[in-house]
């Protein structure tokens, strides 16, 4: 006859008359070894055995109800358990989405830059667009954002009531290689850094304002809000909100339509003058950047506050197929139809043929190129 040890008999009796083998909080031994060490070998469902202890079957930390005790670790997400006991995605981290519904790869979609899930699952960008900061964006506009970010410098006015004479010499401001009809449309791109203070003023004036044959870009700011407006010949202005910072402002005008782009994105549009756009050559201002503090009421007004900005790029060309279409290459790179291109190297262009004076360079009126328009110009007292 075989006898069990006393120790084994005592443990079995305790199991028969005591609490269940384990609870959701504590592991309770089901058997012991002959040496008297408690070891769990089985648990009542829905609990399961993990590392010698009974654990809840709905805990992602131990794999929910799966046979494995490996924790649920979905990528870019918190873990959860399904009613059936499978690992699942809890909440996605900010900027990620579980767009394929597969818990194994978690929140797999990076929403700020995924063209198939741009900003939200299943929000696919159209052909020719990219996903940038959670929004479908024209690829040209995205290229422009990188182009602007690479440009830190610009021309800083010694005093912000000064202007820059972009013509290089006064004679060319009224030369008909510049001031003339533009039968195929006119495109003007202006790159500048603006500090955003509550002040209003001109960014540029181009043409002759005496005959309304001109282009004028102006920023009007007050109470923390601002709009940038473009005026063209014989038409009302079109305007768009603008924030402080570095921008490329683009104005396009043909006989039938005109448009204003801010950083490559269409911001406003309207009808054209119903005749060939023309820049007049018989009167001022010519082609200037900044405040034209030439009138007596500008010079004598008490405590004037002028628009604080630092220009770094100007491109004028004489061909616009459709005013509502913007191209990165056409806006930023010189071509056969470039009339004036202006950057840190000075002014140049395919038709830059002044009757007198310099063919390149800029009459800066006290303005100088600085390496960093924020540090070296706009943030200075």
What is residue 59's predicted lDDT score, i.e. its pLDDT? 92
What is residue 360's predicted lDDT score, i.e. its pLDDT? 42
Q: CA Rg, the chain, in Å?
A: 35
| Six-digit token string for 172 | 């060319």
Is 142 domain-assigned? Answer: no
Is 2 domain-assigned? Answer: no
The C-alpha angle 344, 349, 350, rounded to 5 degrees, equals 160
Is the model's pLDDT at 275 over the cut of 90? no
pLDDT tens-digit series, residues 147-175? 999 999 988 876 776 677 776 555 557 77
Pseudo-torsion of CA 236, 241, 246, 250, nearest 10°? -30
pLDDT tens-digit series, residues 284-335? 777 888 876 545 455 555 555 678 888 999 999 999 989 999 999 999 998 8
Is 315 domain-assigned? Answer: yes
Is 355 domain-assigned? Answer: yes
In Å, what is the CA distance from 253 to each residue of 202, 211, 276? Answer: 19, 17, 9
The three-state (H, E, C) secondary structure of the chain, written as one string: CCCCCHHHHHHHHHHHHCCCCECCCCECCCEECCCCCEECCCCCCCCEEECCEEECCCCHHHCCCCCCCCCCCCCCEEEEECCCCCEEEEEECCCEECCCCCHHHCCCEECCCCCCCCCCCCCCCCCCEEEECCEEEEHHHHHHHHHHHCCCCEEECCCCCCEEECCCCHHHHCCCCCCCECCCCEEEEEEEEECCCCCCEEEEEEEEHHHCEEEEEEEEEECCEEEEEEECCCCCCEEEECCCEEEEEEEEECCCEEEEEECCEEEEEEECCCCCCECCCCCCEEEEEECCCCCHHHHHCCCCCCCCEEEEEEEEECCCCCCCCCCHHHHHCCCCCEEEEEECCEEECCCCCCCCCCCCCCECCCCEEECCHHHHHHCCC
Q: What's the farthest any 2 CA atoms get from each other in the chain?
A: 128
- Asked if 343 contacts 248 with a C-beta cutoff of 8 angstroms, the reply is no
Range of the domain at 354: 154-378
Mean pLDDT of the chain: 78
The C-alpha angle 244, 377, 217, rounded to 5 degrees, equals 45
| Six-digit token string for 134 | 């959670």
Question: Any bridge partners for residue 225, and if so which?
Answer: 222
pLDDT tens-digit series, residues 117-155? 999 999 999 887 888 778 887 788 888 988 999 999 988
CA 176/CA 212 separation, integer angstroms: 16
- Asked if 86 contacts 103 with a C-beta cutoff of 8 angstroms, the reply is yes
Is 200 domain-assigned? Answer: yes
Is 320 domain-assigned? Answer: yes
What is residue 280's predicted lDDT score, i.e. its pLDDT? 82
CA 18/CA 223 separation, integer angstroms: 76
Is 122 domain-assigned? Answer: no
Domain total in the chain? 1
| Six-digit token string for 169 | 């010499």
Mean pLDDT, range 66-80, rounded to an integer? 91
Residues 6+ positions from 219 with CB-CB distance below 8 Å = 194, 200, 201, 203, 226, 227, 228, 229, 242, 307, 309
Mean pLDDT, range 228-249, rounded to an integer? 82
Give the CATH number of the domain where residue 316 resides: 2.60.120.200
Q: Give 174 or 181, the one with higher predicted confidence.
A: 181
What is residue 289's predicted lDDT score, i.e. its pLDDT? 83
CA 23/CA 46 separation, integer angstroms: 10
Is 165 domain-assigned? Answer: yes
Residues 6+ positions from 14 with CB-CB distance below 8 Å = none
pLDDT band for 250, please (50, 70, 90 cuts): very high
């Amino acid at each position: 006859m075989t006898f069990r040890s006393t120790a084994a008999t005592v443990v079995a009796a305790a199991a028969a008359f005591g609490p269940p083998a384990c609870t959701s909080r504590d592991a309770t031994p089901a058997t012991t070894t002959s040496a008297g060490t408690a070891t769990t070998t089985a648990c009542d469902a829905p609990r399961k055995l993990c590392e010698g202890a009974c654990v809840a079957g709905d805990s992602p930390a131990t794999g929910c109800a799966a046979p494995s005790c490996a924790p649920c670790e979905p990528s870019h997400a918190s873990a959860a358990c399904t009613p059936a006991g499978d690992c699942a995605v809890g909440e996605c981290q900010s900027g990620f989405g579980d767009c394929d519904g597969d818990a194994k790869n978690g929140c797999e979609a990076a929403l700020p830059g995924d063209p198939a899930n741009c900003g939200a699952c299943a929000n696919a960008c159209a052909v020719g667009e990219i996903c940038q900061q959670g929004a479908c964006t024209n690829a040209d506009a995205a290229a422009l954002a990188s182009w602007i970010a690479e440009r830190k410098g610009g021309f800083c006015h010694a005093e912000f009531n000064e202007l820059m004479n972009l013509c290089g010499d006064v004679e060319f401001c009224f030369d008909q290689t510049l001031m003339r009809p533009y039968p195929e449309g006119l495109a003007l791109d202006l790159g500048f850094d603006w500090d955003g203070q509550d002040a209003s003023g001109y960014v540029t004036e181009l043409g002759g304002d005496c005959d309304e044959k001109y282009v004028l870009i102006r920023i009007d700011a007050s109470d923390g809000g601002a709009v940038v407006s473009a005026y063209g010949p014989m038409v009302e202005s079109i305007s768009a909100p603008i924030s402080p910072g570095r921008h490329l402002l683009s104005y396009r005008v043909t006989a039938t339509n005109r448009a204003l782009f801010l950083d490559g994105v269409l911001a406003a549009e309207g009808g054209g003058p119903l005749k060939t756009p023309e820049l007049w050559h018989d009167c001022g201002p010519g082609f200037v950047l900044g405040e034209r503090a030439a009138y007596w009421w500008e010079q004598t007004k008490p405590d004037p506050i002028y628009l604080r900005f630092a220009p770094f790029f100007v491109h004028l060309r004489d061909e616009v197929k459709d005013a509502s279409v913007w191209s990165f290459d056409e806006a930023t790179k010189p071509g056969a139809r470039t009339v004036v291109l202006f950057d840190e190297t000075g002014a140049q262009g395919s038709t830059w043929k002044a009757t007198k004076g310099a063919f390149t360079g800029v009459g800066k009126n006290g303005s100088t190129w600085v390496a960093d328009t924020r540090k070296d110009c706009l943030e200075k007292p």
